[in-house]
Structure 1
């Protein structure tokens, strides 16, 4: 029992030391140095997206696990990603990261190549779809993949500077976050086991999807983006709300602390 307690204490010490060692290596920026802040966020994404820092409550976001994610396209088709993953956040390019302490407002712009794949199910019994397909419905249950090339997303949010003990932290809220997105490249789909009525039609349906990817993105993009932004924003919010500003900001921020 004594040996177990010693081992547990050593493990806990090692975990805390690793977290401390990482945050102590962060690049420190001036509060108005947008170029340095951009490099800081790029480094954070590259370093800990795949692992997170559990001891600081910072989650992993590459890959992102997606289970039971449902998308309805204009009440015509229902698609569910039963069990899948999204990859690519680690290699996102940070085009912009600015934290304005005078306005307590921040903005981030990322460009990423995102791949989503996994087990899907799809069904449409819509009269409109059936009429278009000559009375048959669409259904499928198999493996699917979507790759979004050069997916650009920008989001803006307010933040506060909070004091806890002797340290200062940045805290933001997802409720008031605003975002825009676009696909600078294209989307490419792949899927198997897709049926029109009783006939397997995966190749022809996927071909149609790839030819009309922009229309599909306009129809369902907002739902996917909101899901992805929840993960990315949660990651950044957890990082900044759990890592003291002294580890990455050179200036004294005491005057910005919320009353």
Structure 2
């Protein structure tokens, strides 16, 4: 059986920033999974022989793209030997804000507005269980970087991040006790958080790819955050009983730190995994020398 690229070629994008995804099979790039593929036997091959020159050119072009993509304008290059390299990287990360706001599809970078988290489940030893799903967080792209430090020898990086205002919209289910009050319900959940700060600690490694090029990849990414002030509203508590619902919501917000403590480890883990994936998507198409040249 012979596989020939026909109209599926239209899916081969002509974007200078587009990099061939990591794969062991070139066919996965030339013939995307959902493309219109045409299969035919060797007896029909002669009728398609005229396509051979075009297929060879396409093959050579795709092969050339496996080396390195061209750096897009929104990624600022910082030289490793620059005495102010930490400031340069911090400014580069902040320069990404408008692009993270809308996302960069060609680099597999999702929009941060909203930042989507699928599900969080927190269970306390006292019997309280809180589940939040379809969590949409707004305001994550409005960040400011402080105290950026990167050690090129160990590839250990640390910095702080300020987020003035975050708003979340989610669906929840809760059952148990909060501050000795029985609580049960499920429905929409909203939250407002201000004066948020995050402490980021990440590690990376530089390894050679199949073409012998050095590439950067982040292997560990940890986020710890604090919230200055916050307000949460859980709708439909106790089957929609307004009096009991208002009482529990008031108790939660009067003791907001206690309530947040139950969700915080899960939030930090989910945010760490999300930001690590985004960071790797940003650097993956480019070589180490492109991102951080010697001079």
Could you say which residue in structure 2 is the equivalent of 1:23?
72
- Listed as ranges, the matches of 1:157-196 within 5 Å are 157-164=202-209, 165=211, 167-174=213-220, 177-183=221-227, 185-195=228-238
CA contact (8 A) 2:71 2:290 kept: no
Structure 2 residue 183 is matched with structure 1 residue 138:
yes
Structure with larger RCO (C-alpha < 8 A, sep 6+): 1
Deviation (angstroms), 1:216 = 2.0
Classify 1:102/1:213 alpha carbon distance in 2 versus 1 (closer, same or farther; 3 Å). Answer: same
* Equivalence for 1:257: none
Q: How many residues align?
A: 238
Alpha-carbon distance in structure 2 between the residues aligned to 1:150 and 1:240: 30
Q: Give the gaps of 5 or more residues in structure 1.
A: 253-259
Which whole-Å CA distance do the structure 2 matches of 1:186 and 1:149 have between them? 5
**Corresponding position: 1:41 with 2:89:** no
CA contact (8 A) 2:223 2:268 kept: no
Tell me the equivalent position of 2:278: 235
Which string of whole-angstrom CA distances, capped at 9 and with x for unpartnered residues, describes residues 167-225 of structure 1?
Answer: 43212212xx5554322x21111221112996752222222211111222233312211
Residue 144 (structure 1) shift: 0.8
- Matched-pair contact (CA < 8 Å) for 1:79–1:122: yes
Root-mean-square deviation over aligned CA pairs? 3.1
Q: CA deviation at 1:101?
A: 0.8
SS at match of 2:161: strand
Q: Give me the whole-angstrom Cα distance separating, in 1, the residues matched to 2:70 and 2:154.
A: 32
Q: Cα offset for 1:251?
A: 2.0
1:147 alignment counterpart: 192
1:6-52 CA-partner distances (Å, limit 9, x unpaired): 6434xx114x5567676244222122511111011112243135424
Q: Contact 2:183/2:248 (CA < 8 Å) preserved in 1?
A: no
Deviation (angstroms), 1:70 = 1.4
Please identify the structure whose Cα radius of gyration is greater. 2
* TM-score (structure 2 length as normaliser): 0.68
1:208 to 244, 251, 255: 251
Q: Assess if the C-alpha contact under 8 Å between 2:135 and 2:170 holds in 1.
A: yes
Residue 62 of structure 1 deviates from its aligned partner by: 3.5
The residue number in structure 1 matching 2:113 is: 62
3-state SS of the aligned residue for 2:14?
helix
Secondary structure at the counterpart of residue 225 of structure 1: helix
Distance 1:51 1:22 in 2: 16
Q: How does 1:5-24 map to 2 (within 5 A)?
A: 5=8, 7-9=10-12, 12-14=13-15, 17=17, 23-24=72-73
Contact between 2:128 and 2:175, CA under 8 Å: does it hold in 1? yes
Query: CA 1:230–1:6 in structure 2 vs 1: closer, same or farther (change >3 Å)?
Result: closer
